[in-house]
């Protein structure tokens, strides 16, 4: 029997009774029947020539399966999928403030200090904020949109730098957009006015009802914060309304299902609830049973996406969107997020990084805002080339959808991060598979509406 190439790498899985096979070389997903699934699974352990006999099949049954799989393009040697094309949108995550007014129990960035020395600059200067706006178009002239995403610590502790960036961007006629991740406790007229001035998209951290939120997210003076966050949200949603994503942390004692239900009850546009990122031995990390429960709840989120798309409703939880659209294009990722290529980070002292979340990791400083931008752009390309997928990633079926994992989170969580990423990738495949016969319905994930009936929030 002919030895088929690439069969050992094909990922076979089941979702609600439907079987699928994913070829990571071609980034191609097809439905398969039970015999075809059994054949592909057996090929992982033995050569294709011995699969039929190992399964106790008659030659005619084996031949029928091979014919079916060949017709689906799973047994032939095919050209690898093309790489994801570079984007003309660049996001820069900026540590406006590497200090925080909260002392969250599960914070993995040390209140925004990222393990830096105590005498380090803790706030971005207005001069460096303006400099960032001026040098980005110079260093990356092909980019059509720069999203400046202020991060922390708590970025609203440094309104001066944020204002300087927003005012400088006014000279560039729509080239810049702004986003912020905030704990929502600085409810001042100045802060709210500045957010509206910059037309910010807001990622608002709110874990759940007061008894959940306040058990983890308290001020440095041990005061609760839930009421302040709700007040902040109320102001954001007054006219002119700002787009808000509610963001929650799932940890021991608070499940993904519970967090999602709470976020859906709020007046927010999008939601994000993710497992806590901490070392495996931390008391708040999910144990084996809780991780299994988390994965099951992820499946419920995917099912909600499928149901919504059938009804013409884009998902509020959009965690699967980019991977499903990638499958629609048939391309493969070569990095997790494009760090140092189409995303960068800026520390409070003006250092330029591939991403602020890798701050403090040796070898991650690409340069400084005071240097000519081509310096850190070129170093970014070199860093990205040298920090691609790890050797152990090459054998993983999820690599073309994952790109090798988030360097920052792998540094914190290790293999646990890979396990959750694979679960997300498989559910993205399941969403795509549910629409194999009508792929146009997936365009809702790209913001292209399909008229069905009114969506329920």
Instruction: Please indicate whether residue 348 or residue 414 has the higher confidence score (pLDDT).
Output: 348
pLDDT of 1 > 50? The answer is no
Give the pLDDT mean for 16-29.
96
**Which of 335, 419, 421 lies closest to 381, judged by CA?**
335
Instruction: Give the contacts of 184 (CB within 8 A, at least 6 positions apart).
Output: 204, 205, 206, 225, 228, 229, 232, 233
Question: What would the 3-class secondary structure string for 266-335 be?
Answer: CCCCEEEEEECCCCCCCCCCCCHHHHHHHHHHHHHHHHHHHHHHHCCCCCCECCCHHHHHHHHHCCECCC
Most confident of 42-56, 200-214, 277-291: 200-214
pLDDT of residue 280: 81
Q: Are strands 343-346 and 270-275 parallel, antiparallel or unpaired?
A: unpaired
- Give the span between the Cα atoms of 414 and 384, in whole angstroms: 20
Radius of gyration in angstroms for the set of CA atoms belonging to the chain, rounded to a whole number: 24
CB contact at 8 A, 92 and 344 = yes
- Give the span between the Cα atoms of 449 and 443, in whole angstroms: 7
Instruction: Give the contacts of 452 (CB within 8 A, at least 6 positions apart).
Output: 310, 311, 312, 313
- Give the span between the Cα atoms of 183 and 187, in whole angstroms: 10
CB contact at 8 A, 82 and 331 = yes
Both structure tokens of 206: 């709110």
Scan for tokens 């694979």, then name that residue. Answer: 422
Give the pLDDT mean for 227-236.
99
pLDDT of residue 86: 84
Both structure tokens of 177: 């957009």
Domain boundaries, the chain: 7-71, 89-286+335-383
Scan for tokens 């075809």, then name that residue. Answer: 36
pLDDT of 410 > 70? The answer is no
The pLDDT > 70 percentage for the chain reads 93
pLDDT of 65 > 90? The answer is yes
Helices (H) and strands (E) in the chain, counts: 15, 12
The pLDDT > 90 percentage for the chain reads 77
> Does CATH place domain 89-286+335-383 in 2.30.110.10?
no
Task: Tell which phi-psi region holds residue 383, choosing left (phi > 0), alpha (psi between -120 and 50) or beta.
Answer: alpha
pLDDT tier for residue 25 given thresholds of 50, 70 and 90? very high
Please report the beta strands in 119-219, taking only residues with DSSP state E, as ranges in sequence order. Answer: 145-151, 176-182, 201-205
Average pLDDT, the chain: 92
CB contact at 8 A, 318 and 287 = no
* Helices assigned H by DSSP within 142-188: 159-169
Both structure tokens of 264: 């859906």
CB contact at 8 A, 404 and 332 = no
CB contact at 8 A, 277 and 108 = yes
Q: Are strands 11-15 and 18-23 parallel, antiparallel or unpaired?
A: antiparallel
Q: Are strands 343-346 and 89-95 parallel, antiparallel or unpaired?
A: parallel
Give the strands of the sheet with 201-205, arranged side by side: 270-275, 244-250, 201-205, 176-182, 145-151, 89-95, 343-346, 351-353, 367-368
Both structure tokens of 199: 């037309």
Both structure tokens of 424: 């997300």
pLDDT of 425 > 80? The answer is yes
Helix axes 373-386, 126-139, angle to 10 degrees: 70
Backbone angles phi, psi at 199, to 5 degrees: 50, 50
Q: In this predicted model, what pLDDT tens digit does every residue of 107-123 receive, in sequence order?
A: 977 766 666 666 778 99
Q: In this predicted model, what pLDDT tens digit does every residue of 174-229 receive, in sequence order?
A: 999 999 999 999 999 999 999 999 999 999 999 999 999 999 999 999 999 999 99
- Give the span between the Cα atoms of 433 and 99, in whole angstroms: 45
pLDDT of residue 3: 55
pLDDT of residue 181: 98
Most confident of 1-5, 34-38, 402-406, 449-453: 34-38
pLDDT of residue 456: 57
Both structure tokens of 278: 């901490």
Give the pLDDT mean for 6-24.
92
pLDDT tier for residue 388 given thresholds of 50, 70 and 90? confident
Give the pLDDT mean for 397-402.
94
Q: In this predicted model, what pLDDT tens digit does every residue of 93-150 receive, in sequence order?
A: 999 999 999 999 999 777 666 666 667 789 999 999 999 999 999 999 999 999 999 9
CB contact at 8 A, 391 and 404 = no
- Give the span between the Cα atoms of 364 and 105, in whole angstroms: 27
User: Exposed/middle/buried for 362, CB within 10 Å: 0-12, 13-18, 19+?
Assistant: exposed
pLDDT tier for residue 5 given thresholds of 50, 70 and 90? low
Q: In this predicted model, what pLDDT tens digit does every residue of 317-367 receive, in sequence order?
A: 999 999 999 999 999 998 888 899 999 999 999 999 999 888 878 889 999
Give the pLDDT mean for 49-53.
89
For 348, other C-beta atoms within 10 Å of its C-beta total 28
């Amino acid at each position: 029997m002919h030895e088929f190439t690439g069969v050992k790498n094909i990922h076979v899985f089941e979702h609600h009774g439907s079987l699928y096979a994913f070829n990571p070389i071609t980034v191609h997903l097809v439905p398969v029947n039970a015999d075809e699934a059994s054949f592909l699974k057996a090929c992982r352990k033995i050569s294709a020539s011995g699969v039929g006999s190992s399964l106790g099949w008659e030659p005619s049954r084996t031949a029928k399966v091979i014919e079916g799989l060949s017709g689906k393009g799973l047994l032939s040697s095919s050209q690898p999928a093309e790489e994801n094309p570079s984007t003309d949108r660049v996001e820069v995550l900026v540590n406006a403030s590497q200090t925080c007014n909260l002392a969250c129990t599960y914070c993995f960035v040390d209140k925004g200090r990222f393990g830096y020395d105590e005498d380090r600059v803790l706030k971005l200067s207005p001069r460096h904020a303006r400099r960032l706006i001026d040098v980005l178009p110079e260093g990356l002239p092909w980019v059509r949109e720069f999203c400046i995403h202020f991060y922390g610590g708590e970025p609203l502790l440094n309104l001066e730098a944020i204002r300087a960036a927003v005012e400088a961007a006014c000279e560039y006629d729509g080239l810049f957009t702004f986003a912020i991740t905030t704990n929502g406790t600085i409810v001042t007229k100045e802060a709210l006015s500045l957010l509206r001035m910059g037309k910010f998209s807001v990622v608002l951290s709110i874990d759940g009802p007061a008894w959940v939120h306040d058990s983890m997210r308290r001020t440095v003076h041990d005061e609760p914060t839930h009421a302040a966050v709700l007040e902040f949200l109320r102001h954001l949603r007054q006219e002119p309304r700002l787009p808000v994503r509610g963001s929650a942390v799932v940890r021991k004692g608070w499940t993904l299902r519970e967090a999602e239900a709470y976020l859906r009850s709020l007046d927010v546009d999008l939601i994000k609830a993710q497992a806590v990122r901490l070392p495996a031995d931390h008391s708040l990390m999910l144990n084996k049973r809780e991780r299994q429960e988390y994965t099951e709840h992820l499946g419920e989120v995917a099912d909600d996406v499928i149901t919504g798309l059938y009804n013409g409703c884009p998902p509020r939880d959009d965690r699967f969107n980019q991977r499903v659209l990638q499958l629609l294009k048939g391309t493969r990722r070569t990095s997790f997020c494009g760090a140092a290529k189409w995303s960068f980070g800026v520390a409070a002292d003006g250092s330029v990084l591939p991403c602020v979340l890798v701050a403090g990791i040796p070898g991650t400083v690409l340069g400084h805002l005071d240097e000519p931008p081509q310096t850190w752009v070129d170093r970014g390309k070199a860093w990205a080339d040298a920090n691609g997928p790890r050797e152990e990633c090459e054998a993983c079926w999820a690599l073309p959808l994952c790109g090798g994992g988030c360097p920052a989170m792998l540094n914190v969580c290790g293999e646990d991060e890979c396990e959750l990423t694979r679960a997300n990738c498989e559910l993205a495949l399941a969403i795509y598979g549910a629409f194999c016969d009508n792929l146009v319905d997936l365009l809702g994930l790209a913001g292209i509406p399909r008229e069905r009936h009114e969506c329920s929030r």
